[in-house]
Chain A
């Protein structure tokens, strides 16, 4: 079993009258256990030169992992503050990652196309995007092409 730790720091000295400092560390476990997640897509860096939406973690037809406890990391490496990538899941838009922003969220993939994660760059002039999933999914990236 693997041990993968993820830590979030949220800090500010002027958002409030008093300073803010939040620190959280957790370990990536399989759903409902203390057994570490043991698969990963690896950290991918993509230079996206199109505004076309794409699925960073395609789900194979017939696969279902709805009860799993995977984790997703996505970062927009652009240095242009006006450039963003829109993150969607299924039919919903989660939000926009502007230059330098990242997300860390759980993901329990259902059947193909049901709640796929989608990334849409705001420009076609090129944005570096990093993404990674740590999981124990069956039949997921990079085995299939999705839409």
Chain B
């Protein structure tokens, strides 16, 4: 287990009539335990150069899907600008937290409330005959062409692809897809078709790829993505780091 120590020191000799100075130190641990947080994105640096005019587009720095929902995750942000008027506005989902002006930093916990990811299962089905070498199924921009006449092998070939927006598992002729991101409206349009899928069924086989299981409706979006919006169109730079469970 890793040991990561965070310390804040706050000091002023003239904010009040007497000086203030205090320090707080904490060990970054998992929720409800003394086990240290072991995962991190590492210290990142992101440039924002939007061009155009306000309101400027923001960037999602950390998505809720990247950390354990309800975990004792911690986020560190710093505005590297040296121009006092330049700031980043920090949002949790649609809620504005505040502004990080030049040189400012923030360190705060993050619940990372994730939504429900869309899932579905496609089962390769033969009405008659066998899979033709050359039969193909395309989804999410990835086309798989069968190299054999064995149904389950074709399913394994589909599973072995790397889909940009989905992860997969396979069991026999059934390939289960899980969205990489939780979004409000998925791509499943019913229980027999998928937007964007294309099945090429050559002569000699009677292959179909129906959806046989899945949560076709209840996918929901994440509700605590961290979005950063710059205050100017010219380049601003943010340093950031996520410690997570």
**Chain A residues whose CB sits within 8 angstroms of the CB of B98 once the complex forms:** 69-70, 72, 105-108
B8, B34, B101: the one within 8 Å of A102 (CB): B8
| CA of A108 to CA of B101, assembled, Å | 12
**Residues 1-41 of chain A, each 1 if its beta carbon lies under 8 Å from chain B, else 0:** 01111111111111110001010101101011110111010
Chain A interface size, under 10 / 10 to 19 / 20 to 34 / 35 or more: 35 or more
Q: A75–B95 contact, CB under 8 A?
A: no
Q: A104 and B29 in contact (CB under 8 A), knowing A6-B10, A9-B6, A43-B20?
A: no
A4, A15, A75, A105: the one within 8 Å of B2 (CB): A15
Q: A12–B10 contact, CB under 8 A?
A: no
| CA of A96 to CA of B1, assembled, Å | 21
B15, B24, B90, B95: the one within 8 Å of A134 (CB): B15
| CA of A24 to CA of B31, assembled, Å | 26
B100 CB–A CB distance under 8 Å: yes
**Chain A residues whose CB sits within 8 angstroms of the CB of B223 once the complex forms:** 92
Smallest CB separation, B93 vs chain A (Å) = 5
Chain B interface size, under 10 / 10 to 19 / 20 to 34 / 35 or more: 35 or more
B7, B8, B11: the one within 8 Å of A73 (CB): B8
Q: A92–B95 contact, CB under 8 A?
A: yes
A6, A84, A96, A107: the one within 8 Å of B9 (CB): A6
Q: A26–B103 contact, CB under 8 A?
A: yes
Q: A106 and B85 in contact (CB under 8 A), knowing A2-B12, A115-B96?
A: no
**Chain B residues whose CB sits within 8 angstroms of the CB of A69 once the complex forms:** 87, 98-99, 101, 104
| CA of A100 to CA of B31, assembled, Å | 12
**Chain B residues whose CB sits within 8 angstroms of the CB of A134 once the complex forms:** 15
B29, B70, B78, B94: the one within 8 Å of A24 (CB): B78
Q: B105–A24 contact, CB under 8 A?
A: yes
B10, B24, B112: the one within 8 Å of A4 (CB): B10
**Chain B residues whose CB sits within 8 angstroms of the CB of A104 once the complex forms:** 8, 105-108
Q: B92–A10 contact, CB under 8 A?
A: no
B4 CB–A CB distance under 8 Å: yes
A90 CB–B CB distance under 8 Å: yes
Task: List, sorted by A's number, 13 A–B pairs whose CB atoms are closer than 8 Å.
Answer: A7-B7, A9-B7, A10-B6, A11-B5, A15-B2, A31-B101, A37-B15, A94-B224, A95-B108, A102-B107, A104-B105, A104-B107, A108-B99
List A residues at the B interface (Cβ < 8 Å).
2-16, 20, 22, 24, 26-27, 29, 31-34, 36-38, 40, 42-43, 69-70, 72-73, 75, 81-82, 84, 86-87, 89-98, 100-108, 110, 115, 132, 134
List B residues at the A interface (Cβ < 8 Å).
2-16, 20, 22, 24-27, 29, 31-34, 36, 38, 40, 42-43, 70, 72-74, 76, 78, 84-85, 87, 90, 92-101, 103-113, 223-224, 241
